[in-house]
Structure 1
Amino acid sequence: MASEAIFLPAAGSVQFAIYPDGYDGARIIARIDEEVLHDRFHAADGESELVSTYDRNADSIDALATARYRENPRVEIRLRSTDFQSGGF
C-alpha cells in the first residue's frame, strides 16, 4: 500500500495511518514529531524529506505506534523523542 503520510506544519509532525488489525480493520491516525525524525532518524530539512524519512523507517515507527494504540486505544498516538529512548527502537 502507498504511504498515507503527510507533513503537518502547524503541528510540527508527520501524520500517518496504522492498521493494527490489518487493512480490513480500523484505520488509526498517528503522528510522529518532526524533532524525532531529525534527531533519531537523521531526516534532512524540508517537508518532503520528513515524509521520506518516515517512509524509510515506517516499520519501526508503525510498530511503536501500534504498541501505543494497543496500550490504550482511546488516547491520541503522538510519538515523541522520549518514546524512542527506552523501547529499543
Structure 2
Amino acid sequence: MLTQTSSPTLSQYCEGTVFGLSGKYNLAKGTGFLAVRAGPSAGSRMVGQLFTGNTVEIFSRKGNWYRAAMGGIDGRANSKWMRNSYGY
C-alpha cells in the first residue's frame, strides 16, 4: 500500500485507477477503453489500452497526461479518466 506524502518526486510513483469509461468497447470510435500513448497528445501512437478498474503506476504528470505503467505497457494516459493516490 502506498502512503501519501506532500508531492511525488521523480523517484516516487503513485497508484492510479481508471474510471468512468463506456462499457461498450469500440476501437473504431475510441470508446470503452483509455488509450495509452507514446507521447502526451491524442495524436501520439497508441501503445496500449486500459479499462475501467485497471490500476497503474503513475510516475509523472505533464499537463493533462500521466506517465503510467502496467503489465509491460509504459506510456502516457489522459488524466481525465484516472483517479490517483496523490490527488494531482
**Into which bin does the TM-score normalised by the smaller protein fall?**
under 0.3
**Higher strand residue share:** 2
Report the TM-score, using the length of structure 1 for normalisation. Answer: 0.28
Higher relative contact order (CA 8 A, sep 6+): 2
**Higher helix residue share:** 1
